[in-house]
């Protein structure tokens, strides 16, 4: 691995950084206070991102598309890497606003990872949310109870989903449902359900600690009829492969959540270094001889850098078609935990300056907590890592 940012992404990252500073930061507090209000300023920005994505590797939530049909030998830095690096810069501006960006939903990553070629073309340009979590199953995605029953050329969906990011605003929702509860996780498939489909109802929007600019919905499905062609990928139930096909989505999105945490923590670190710049000496003084404040900041920087490098490795492996389930979980677990620890510590060190709303430090601390929870909690990531390290299956290590 080359630990420097690839030169070909410099223009993209410079643009993302300027966008964070000049577009997202100025409206950050506005939409934190106006929860559930759609940030209309993002329409122009999303159109710009669309153009960048059409021109090659850009900031694209469907990062998994970079794995399709790639024949390049050797080291490849593709759309997974460019997306992760771009997300760091955008979350340096505002995490909630990034999550509100049209056509950058988690469902887009699911489409990119699982859809066949015809579906990739048909759903190109859609803004897709992802509906996985249910009232009776949180981190255990295999415990899904939403059903999809075949009826002619359609499937009929029944169930309830909660914590659906962009569930109200998105053009469509990728819904995880089981074709046969008796067959367990192997029967779970994902379906693209367009907004306005009869039987699909947004029941409520959640009031949250952070990322308030992003709408988080609870959605019910009552006899919701979806075309069979909207089942992503293969409709056949492969008991041998089990849940692996659907879970491939997470191997590509968990590094992106790690990148969000790295970006949010970067903002807090830079601000706290600016506040205490008189006590920092460009690392000239040995660590054990610095002030307590400087030592804590240097320690946070070291943890932040470790998180960033782990995230880069997971994204790089995805671009180079290397199995990265273990590395994706390591990156997400480390960055999610450290990102939250850094933002909270920066609030603490800044005291009254960090705790009031004149600064964004308190907002970054609130926003960062979700990055340690969604896409699999800290505990679930550690469980996945343990299984990979010990060579255990999910039934052997619970």
- The CA R_g of the chain, rounded to the nearest whole Å, is 21
* Catalytic-role residue among 134, 168, 327, 375: 375
Distance CA 259, CA 243 (A): 26
Alpha helices in 115-243 (DSSP H): 117-122
Beta-carbon count within 10 A of 259 CB: 30
Catalytic residue at 375? yes
Nearest to 217 by CA among 208, 209, 225: 208
Please say whether the beta carbons of 369 and 383 come within 8 A: no
Q: How far apart are CA 85 and CA 102, in angstroms?
A: 19
Residues marked as catalytic: 375
């Amino acid at each position: 691995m080359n630990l420097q940012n690839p030169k070909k992404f410099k223009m993209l990252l410079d643009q993302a950084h300027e966008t964070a500073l000049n577009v997202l930061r100025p409206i950050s507090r506005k939409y934190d206070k106006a929860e559930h209000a759609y940030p209309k300023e993002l329409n122009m920005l999303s159109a710009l991102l669309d153009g960048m994505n059409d021109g090659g590797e850009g900031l694209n939530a469907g990062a998994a598309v970079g794995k399709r049909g790639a024949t390049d030998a050797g080291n490849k830095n593709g759309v997974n890497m460019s997306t992760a690096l771009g997300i760091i810069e955008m979350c340096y501006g505002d995490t909630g606003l990034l999550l509100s960006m049209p056509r950058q939903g988690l469902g887009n990553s699911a489409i990119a990872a699982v859809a066949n070629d015809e579906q990739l073309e048909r759903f190109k340009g859609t803004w897709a949310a992802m509906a996985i979590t249910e009232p009776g199953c949180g981190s255990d995605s295999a415990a899904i109870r939403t059903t999809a029953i075949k009826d002619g050329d359609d499937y009929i969906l029944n169930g309830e989903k909660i914590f659906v990011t962009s569930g109200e605003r998105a053009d469509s929702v990728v819904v995880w449902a089981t074709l046969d509860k008796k067959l367990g996780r192997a029967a779970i498939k994902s379906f693209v359900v367009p907004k306005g489909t009869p039987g699909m109802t947004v029941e409520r929007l959640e009031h949250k600690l952070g990322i308030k600019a992003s709408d988080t919905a609870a959605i019910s499905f009552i006899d919701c009829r979806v075309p069979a062609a909207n089942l992503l990928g293969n409709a056949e139930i492969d008991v041998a492969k089990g849940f692996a096909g659907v879970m491939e989505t997470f191997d590509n999105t968990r590094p992106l959540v790690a990148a969000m945490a790295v970006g949010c923590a970067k903002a807090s670190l830079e601000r706290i270094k600016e506040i205490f710049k008189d006590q920092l000496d460009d690392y000239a003084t040995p660590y054990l001889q610095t002030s307590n404040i400087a030592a804590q900041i240097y320690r946070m920087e070291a943890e932040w850098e470790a998180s960033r490098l782990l995230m880069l490795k997971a994204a790089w492996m995805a671009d180079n078609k290397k199995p990265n389930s273990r590395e994706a979980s390591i990156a997400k677990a480390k960055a999610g935990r450290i990102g939250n620890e850094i933002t909270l510590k920066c609030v603490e060190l800044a005291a009254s300056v960090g705790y009031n709303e004149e600064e964004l430090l308190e907002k970054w601390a609130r926003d960062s907590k979700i990055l340690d929870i969604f896409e699999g909690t800290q505990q679930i990531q550690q469980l996945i890592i343990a299984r990979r390290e010990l060579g255990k299956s999910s039934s052997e290590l619970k």
